[in-house]
Amino acid sequence: MRSKMFFTAIVPVFLIAGCDSVPTDTESAQLAEPDFAATVDMTNYKAQLSPPRTFIPCANDGIGEYASAVDPWLHIIIREVIDGSSGSHWSFMTHPIGGWDYVGETTGDRYQATGLTRGIENTDGADWTPYTWTFVNSFKLIGPGPSNNYLVTMVTHLTWNANDVLTADVSNVSIECR
C-alpha cells in the first residue's frame, strides 16, 4: 500500500530547510463540515527557514557563484479534505514572503528569490486507488543586469488506476539562465 506522498515529499523539505515555526491556534482553522459530509482541515502559516546556499551559474559574468538567503520567510498553506466516500484530497502551496534576498558570496550582488511550490494528492477511497500526485515547483533568482536570472521549473505527475497500476509518470525539469 502506498504511503501518502504528500508527507513523504513535504516533510523532508521543511526538515532540510530548517523550518523553525509551527502553526498556532490562531493560524490554523477547522472549517465547518459541508453538507456533502466532507471534513476539511486547512493550515495557513509562515515559517522562517535556513535554506542551504545556492549556486547561481548565471552569476559573475557566467562563471557562477554561491549565494546565501538573508532572513527568508515562507508562506505555507496545507489543506486536507476527506470526502463522504473516504476519498482523501491533500494540497499544499508555499511561496517566499516578500521575495527573499540572496547575496552573492563572490560579487556581493543581490538576487531576489520568488516562485511557487504546489503539491496535490487525490485518492478515491480507503484502499488508495485510484491515486494521483502532482508536484509543481517554480523557483526564480532574479539578478542585476542582463543574463543574470536563474530559473528552475519542475513538474511531476503520477497516476495509478483502480487496479493499482501506474498509468501516468510525467516528469519535466527546466533550468535556465536568462
Which grid coordinates belong to 36?
Answer: 456533502
Q: What pTM value is reported for the model?
A: 0.70
Q: Going residue by residue through the chain, which has 178 residues, state the pLDDT in tens, using 9 for 90 and above.
A: 344 444 444 433 433 344 444 344 443 344 333 334 556 778 888 999 888 889 999 999 889 999 999 988 999 999 988 887 778 889 999 999 887 899 999 999 999 999 999 999 998 876 778 899 999 999 999 998 888 899 999 999 999 998 889 999 999 999 999 8
Round to whole Å and give the CA distance between 166 and 150. 34
CA 57 to chain centroid, in Å, comes to 22
Characterize 7-34 residue by residue with b for buried, 16 or more Cβ atoms within 10 angstroms of its Cβ, and e for exposed.
eebbeebbeebebeeeeeeeeeeeeeee
Round to whole Å and give the CA distance between 28 and 42. 6
DSSP assigned state of 178: -
| Alpha helix ranges (H) inside the chain | 5-17
Which grid coordinates belong to 120?
Answer: 496535490
Number of domains in the chain: 1
Range of the domain at 83: 5-177
CA-based radius of gyration for the chain: 19
